[in-house]
Structure 1
């Protein structure tokens, strides 16, 4: 296996992981924005529902924060235990 091929695989994986993490962060930020805007709309419509709405907002926000952490774990797997490099090594017989 040539070193250039291995470097190409690792660099492509690093760029892909960066794009994936950026997309996950953007998705989480947009989700938080939508959650908070709907929370404020709900308080504006029914101010007496504020405690219930806040609990639901924080619960949903917690789920929204879990998404980038799951993506981070998967990205670390791609960075440190790169399955593409192993597949190329196996395919080339090395």
Structure 2
């Protein structure tokens, strides 16, 4: 039983860590690209927001999986 809780916490922790790293890389690359091509800043920002939405979906899937593990498998 306790292994399920450990697995759920690892899922949540690694999802949060990976999302933080991903947002950091995305923001850095957006700033680099905007500095190189200032006239494309609007297009780059739209694409970065789309990527941020997709990047944010990954930990939400992890939250759903962790809740399933905690409340259905362990419960």
TM-score (norm 2): 0.94
Looking at structure 1, the residues matched to 6 and 69 of structure 2 have their Cα atoms a distance apart, in angstroms, of: 11
Q: Give the corresponding residue for 1:23.
A: 14
Higher relative contact order (CA 8 A, sep 6+): 2
Q: Which runs of 5+ in 2 are unaligned?
A: none
User: What is the RMSD computed on CA atoms of the aligned residues?
Assistant: 0.9
Aligned partner of 1:65 among 36, 39, 56: 56
Q: Which runs of 5+ in 1 are unaligned?
A: 1-9, 86-94
Larger Cα Rg: Structure 1 or Structure 2?
Answer: 1
Deviations along 1:3-43, whole A, 9 cap, x unmatched?
xxxxxxx2111011111110000011111011111100001
Q: Which runs of 4+ in 1 moved over 3 A?
A: none
